């Protein structure tokens, strides 16, 4: 790191001494992509790096904002930092969330293209070459799907970008999907059924993704056939006994998960300085636990605790989403928190049953009071949403989505989490 700063300082010194002098590039190691990618270990580094760009979207605020808010199920809460994106007020490159995701997704595409076109010279055995090529094709399909569904018919290439490119093409959406299907069919044929290296894509995961892509194009029969092939293919997947159990930290790598974007349990391995190293790094760990939590820690007899999360208060459910669940729905019970018990200033719940706050999707008919700690605060359906229109009235207090919470974080203010993001389950 010291050498990097010395090089940067030297570069600035040369710039101010003379802007007319030309700087000669010097590669002290002598290594080039052409040399590194001709060895199995070097090529493995490329494949591993290609996986890393998933972490720019999954478990990150930008991805949640782009894909979830401004829809009929999620909307801005008081803490939303990109309300112009949530309300479709600014969808231009000046929006940093869109710009960063665009750059990251195309960086991932470029690595995949480089690997796919160079893999013949990587020195792999035939079997391992097909496995690594299938991984890269899965990832290319994955990234292009995010690109085409977010921006439509934009720039498309299957070639590695070398040097500065100042032109782009505008490509029909079907061209993207043609490649997506081609890549996923290759992946579904050539990937291994299982992996001992958790986080790598497997054949059933590629098949599940292919089934989803069939649905996007209205190919329902093909989607049904592929989904059944995953369910009945003997791959060893087992559903959790209870819906909510899937999101417990103890089940972070359960047998129900087909594919996940995984994060290191050693938080020091997660580079959180994303503004310093904007490309090619893991961009920190999963921070999804911060964004869907209501503001609870300023209510009477409440303090911020690890179990309830650090409430960034970014996004909240719409009334339409809450109404999709039945009156006694295990999926709702396993996904949302309505009741908060009083907390201690040192962290932890003081007395289970000592209710302090209720934020509910119903018009709660109970009478506050009678609990050991005194009265409790109630935010019912008509306090949170307008009774007639369903528009949000209260952007601070609402049912909290719990599936992203991580009560194993060491402190209540810890922003990082090792929790994996489940993509196929």
Query: Do 304 and 399 belong to one domain?
Result: yes
Does 415 fall in a domain? no
Residue 185 — pLDDT band, cuts 50, 70, 90?
A: very high
Query: Do 85 and 161 belong to one domain?
Result: yes
326-346 b/e (C-beta count within 10 Å ≥ 16 → b):
eeeeeebebbbbbebbbbeee
Nearest-angstrom CA–CA distance, 389 and 289: 30
Query: 417: which 2 tokens?
Result: 């989490």
pLDDT of 211 > 90? The answer is: yes
Does 362 fall in a domain? yes
pLDDT in tens, 287-321: 999 999 999 999 988 999 999 999 999 999 999 99
pLDDT averaged over every residue in the chain: 86
In the structure, how many helices (H) and strands (E) does the chain have?
A: 13, 9
Query: Do 243 and 332 belong to one domain?
Result: no
pLDDT in tens, 382-418: 999 999 999 999 999 999 999 999 999 999 999 889 9
Q: What is the CATH number of the domain that holds 163?
A: 1.25.40.390
Does 277 fall in a domain? no
Nearest-angstrom CA–CA distance, 264 and 272: 13
Does 316 fall in a domain? yes
Query: Do 356 and 226 belong to one domain?
Result: no
Does 31 fall in a domain? no
The number of folded domains in the chain is: 2
Residue 237 — pLDDT band, cuts 50, 70, 90?
A: very high
Does 13 fall in a domain? no
Helix (H) or strand (E) holding 316: strand 315-317
Q: Which of 3-12, 16-25, 291-300, 340-349 has the lowest mean pLDDT?
A: 3-12
Domain boundaries, position 322: 292-403
């Amino acid at each position: 790191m010291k050498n990097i700063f010395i090089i940067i300082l030297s570069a600035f010194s040369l710039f101010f001494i003379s802007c007319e002098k030309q700087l000669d590039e010097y590669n002290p190691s002598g290594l080039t992509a052409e040399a590194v990618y001709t060895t199995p270990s070097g090529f493995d580094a490329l494949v591993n790096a290609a996986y890393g760009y998933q972490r720019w979207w999954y478990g990150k605020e930008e991805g949640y904002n782009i894909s979830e808010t401004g829809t009929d199920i999620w909307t801005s809460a008081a803490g939303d930092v990109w309300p112009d994106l949530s309300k479709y007020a600014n969808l231009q490159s000046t929006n940093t969330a869109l710009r960063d995701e665009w750059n990251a997704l195309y960086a991932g595409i470029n690595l995949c293209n480089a690997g796919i076109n160079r893999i013949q010279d990587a020195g792999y055995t035939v079997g391992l070459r097909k496995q690594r090529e299938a991984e890269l094709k899965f990832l290319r399909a994955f990234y292009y799907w995010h690109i085409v569904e977010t921006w439509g018919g934009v720039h498309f290439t299957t070639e590695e970008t070398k040097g500065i490119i100042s032109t782009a093409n505008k490509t029909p959406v079907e061209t993207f999907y043609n490649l997506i299907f081609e890549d996923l069919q290759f992946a579904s044929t050539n990937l291994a059924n299982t992996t001992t290296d958790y986080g790598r894509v497997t054949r059933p995961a590629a098949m599940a993704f292919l089934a989803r892509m069939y649905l996007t194009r209205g190919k329902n029969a093909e989607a049904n056939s592929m989904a059944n092939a995953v369910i009945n293919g003997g791959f060893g997947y087992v559903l959790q006994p209870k819906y909510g159990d899937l999101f417990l930290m103890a089940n972070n790598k359960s047998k129900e998960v087909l594919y996940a974007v995984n994060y290191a349990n050693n938080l020091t391995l997660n580079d959180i300085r994303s503004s310093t190293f904007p490309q090619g790094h893991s961009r920190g760990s999963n921070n999804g636990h911060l964004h869907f939590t209501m503001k609870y820690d300023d209510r009477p007899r409440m303090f911020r605790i690890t179990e309830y999360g650090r409430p960034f208060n970014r996004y909240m459910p719409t009334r339409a989403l809450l109404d999709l669940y039945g009156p006694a729905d295990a999926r709702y019970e396993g996904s949302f928190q309505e009741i908060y018990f009083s907390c201690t200033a040192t962290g932890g719940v003081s007395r289970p049953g000592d209710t302090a706050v209720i934020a509910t999707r119903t018009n709660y008919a109970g009478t506050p009071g009678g609990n050991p700690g005194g009265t409790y605060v109630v935010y019912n359906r008509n306090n949170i949403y307008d009774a007639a229109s369903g528009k949000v009235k209260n952007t601070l207090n609402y049912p909290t989505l719990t599936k992203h919470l991580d009560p194993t974080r060491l402190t209540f203010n810890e922003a990082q989490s090792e929790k994996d993001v489940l993509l196929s389950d």
